[in-house]
Structure 1
Amino acid sequence: MSAPVVDVHAHAIVPEIEAAVAGRAGLDAHRALDARRNGAESLEVSGKMVAARIPQLVGVDRRLADMDAAGIDVQVVSPSPSHYHYWADRELAQAVTSSANRGIAALVAEEPLRLVGLGLIALQHPGDAVAALDDAVITCGLAGVEISSFAPGVELSDARLEPFWARAAELNAVVFLHPFGCSLDERLDRFYLSNTVGQPVENAVALSHIIFAGVLDRHPTLTVLAAHGGGYLPTYIGRSDHAWEVRPEARRCADLPSSYLPRITFDSLVHGAGALRALVDAVGAESVVLGSDYPFDMGITDPVSQVRAAGLTEAVTRSILGDNAFRLGLSTASSGVQS
């Protein structure tokens, strides 16, 4: 019997979060930055796209029907990245993370045999990260938390995040790295480059901060799950290795950067059979899991079929579809669901 088929990359909207931030100081500036980064055309298209998907983002009935149609047994649900609100002050940020953790937990409680949840921390307030993580995992029973690639003034290499990484490792909590927004700003404000180019860039930058800063040296049991196949980093890691060999300022990690890739988990959302095969070659078959980005338009509705179309061995395919997620605790072992 194989493990359940698990989609680790799916999102939900928590209405209480947007209610909490409505009318608050800083929201207008945040929206203006979002407009500058994405451009008016993409914002309009995205607004209509999200509105059309509200039944999938808020309730469970359509979600479960879509899972069944796609051959997904278990779905790992994280808040929509639009919920990060890293502009929020400390008090508001605590309301955001609390709402996210409880909102996702409530969604999971409706179908605990099919859904696993991830919460949020306020990355812009590193000193509160451990408390938010404990709230998500211990209080709300979630499997971990979702974070973006950076927050204003906070990179993932920031020393102030050390207690968070240590606590995540101690709890065996998953830290799901999912960028939202790109620091290249208006250079990507047309043709939807903010997403098609910006997201893979942000994944690569954020993972590089984690690797080069020695986060995985200090916390070897930390579970980092990278969306979008880790962006550009895994299949261009040779350049990082070369920098580590020739530049002293790049030797802040103990070993070659490529040696850390098997210690990170990557979703399969790389949009192409050749790209998926290259990802598996770069990071190892045990470090890739199924991801769809449900229900957004940059995701895919047939993730299982796309993995099977990559021409991988049956053992590797089984690992990606469910075995690896099961091993990470991103499944519902008590469900009895088998693929």
Structure 2
Amino acid sequence: MTDVTTGTTEAAQTTQTTGTTETRPTVDVHAHVLLPAIDALVAGLPGHAEALALDAGRNGPASLAVSGPMVRERIPRMTDPAVRLATMDAQGVDVQLVSPSPSHYHYWADEETAEKVYLLANEATAAHCSAAPERLRGLGLAPLQHPDQAVRALEHALEQGLAGVEISSHAPGRELSDPAYEPFWSRAGESGAIVFLHPFGCTLDERLDQWYLSNTVGQPTENAVALSHLIFSGVLDRHPGLKVIAAHGGGYLPTHIGRSDHAWSARSDAHAGCAHPPSSYLKRLYFDSLVHDPHVLRELVRVAGADRVLLGSDFPFDMGTEDPVGALRAAQLAEADFHAVRGGTAAALLRKD
């Protein structure tokens, strides 16, 4: 049993520090649930076939041939809470923050369909997590293609007992800096809701349709672009209470933030939107640890702070890690930093009011 408020858990790792024993849960903030009811809801609707064709073109046939069997093999871990919990036990993970598979965004959908999607996603995710509420916290969805609905979707997610919502890096024709999202950012900041920024698809399209570049290059590129919009537009200045968690360690931005700082200092157009050097905003964001390189993880902790990096596995996809704690340990962080990333910071974020 785990209590993310107090940090007590039977399975948690225990460490001796300065003569005292601290017990903290291990918290994975990047884990997904698959919701077949949403697939059934959108099947055959106008726009769905075109969206599938766009996704297929972006990934390429070779990647699709691998991804299909990979996802099918992992369906029990994403749909059956008992299988999920058994896998978590094997990984040494006490608590997961569970978000819908990004394939459920459906940003092509009209307003009526978009509302049905977020209502179903929020309720189904809450139901999945209710199987083990002491170990599973959930996130809903917000339809970025309809900014007026985003606040309502967030409110509905919170009403379901979810911790916040998951969003992509952009919507068709809109970046996260778009003024139309100001009410959403405002409400997210006021409510203390978590906004999990997880890209789906990359606008570089067919340039990345071989060798799974759509994911290996596309995802970190989309993360970097989206975060840059939040920083340079002043969204984080206007809404200092935002709790944004960026998947995939924030992509390329944290390790190349010096270039952003230089542009901010050297050019008036780069300086116009945000009040402080871009690197300073890394300490206002949160990042998961899923960077697949211990040296990059150490650098992420250096530039953002251990109190801004959270354990993430991308459960249970093949671009994640089966051993998130082992991957974290490989970075050889200071003991206090290791335990902050392992779960201390996330447990505080997920505390119940």
TM-score (norm. length: structure 1): 0.96
1:120 paired to 2:141 = yes
User: Secondary structure of 2:45's match?
Assistant: coil
CA distance in 2, matches of 1:216, 1:2: 33
Q: 1:177-192 to 2 correspondence within 5 Å? A: 177-192=197-212
* Residue aligned with 1:202, SS: helix
Q: Is the 8 A contact 1:100 1:119 kept in 2?
A: yes
Matches within 5 A, 1:161-310: 161-251=181-271, 252-310=273-331
Cross-structure match for 2:69:
48
Q: Residue 108 of structure 1: which of 125, 129, 135 is its match?
A: 129
Q: Show the counterpart of 1:60.
A: 81
SS of aligned partner of 1:110: coil
Q: Distance in 2 between matches of 1:309 and 1:46?
A: 28
Match of 1:32 among 49, 53, 60: 53
The amino acid of 2:30's aligned partner reads H
CA distance in 2, matches of 1:44, 1:142: 34
Q: Indicate yes or no: 2:59 matched with 1:18.
A: no
Any idea what SS the aligned residue of 1:53 has?
A: helix
Deviation, structure 1 residue 3: 2.2
Identical positions, percent? 62
Deviations 1:264-320 (A, max 9, x none): 000000001111101111111111000000000000010001111211111000000
| Alpha-carbon separation, structure 2, partners of 1:49 and 1:148 | 22
In structure 1, C-alpha distance between the alignment counterparts of 2:311 and 2:301, rounded to whole Å: 12
The structure with higher relative contact order (CA 8 Å, sep 6+) is 1
User: Which amino acid is the alignment partner of residue 252 of structure 2?
Assistant: Y
Is 1:95 matched with 2:116? Answer: yes
Q: Residue 75 of structure 1 aligns to a residue in which SS?
A: strand
SS of the aligned residue for 1:224 comes to strand
Q: Does 2:165 align with 1:145?
A: yes
Q: Which residue of 1 aligns with 2:11?
A: none
* Distance (whole Å) between structure 2 residues aligned to residue 129 and residue 243 of structure 1: 32
Tell me what 2:23 maps to.
2
Return the offset for 1:2.
2.8
Q: Following the alignment from structure 1 to structure 2, what is the Cα–Cα distance between the partners of residues 260 and 99? A: 34
Query: Does the residue aligned with 2:28 lie in a helix, a strand or coil?
Result: strand
TM-score (norm 2): 0.92
Q: How many equivalent residue pairs?
A: 331
Amino acid at match of 1:179: P
Q: Which residue of 2 aligns with 1:157?
A: 177
The Cα of 1:52 is off from its aligned counterpart by 0.7
Structure 1: unaligned runs, 5 residues or longer: 335-339
Letter in 2 for 1:249: D
**Residue 176 of structure 1: SS of its match in structure 2?**
strand
Q: Are the equivalent residues in 2 in contact too, given 1:2–1:323 (CA < 8 A)?
A: no
Q: Secondary structure at the match of 1:7?
A: strand
Structure 2 Cα separation of the partners of residues 284 and 223 of structure 1: 15
TM-aligned CA deviation for residue 54 of structure 1: 0.7
Counterpart Cα distance in 1 of 2:340 and 2:193 = 20
Aligned equivalents of 2:160, 2:188: Cα separation in 1: 15
Q: Which residue of 2 aligns with 1:78?
A: 99
Q: Distance in 2 between matches of 1:207 and 1:263?
A: 11
TM-aligned CA deviation for residue 226 of structure 1? 0.3
* Unmatched tracts of structure 2, length 5 or more: 1-21
Q: Which residue of 2 aligns with 1:317?
A: 338
Name the structure 2 match of 1:326.
347
Cα deviation for residue 61 of structure 1 reads 1.2
Among candidates 152, 155, 168, match of residue 131 of structure 1? 152
- CA contact under 8 A between 1:2 and 1:318: conserved in structure 2? no
- Residue 174 of structure 1 aligns with an amino acid whose one-letter code is I
Match of 1:337? Answer: none
Letter of the 1:232 partner, please give it. Y
Q: Match of 1:279, SS? A: helix
> In structure 2, how many angstroms separate the alpha carbons of the residues matched to 1:129 and 1:249?
30
Say which SS state the counterpart of residue 11 (structure 1) adopts: strand
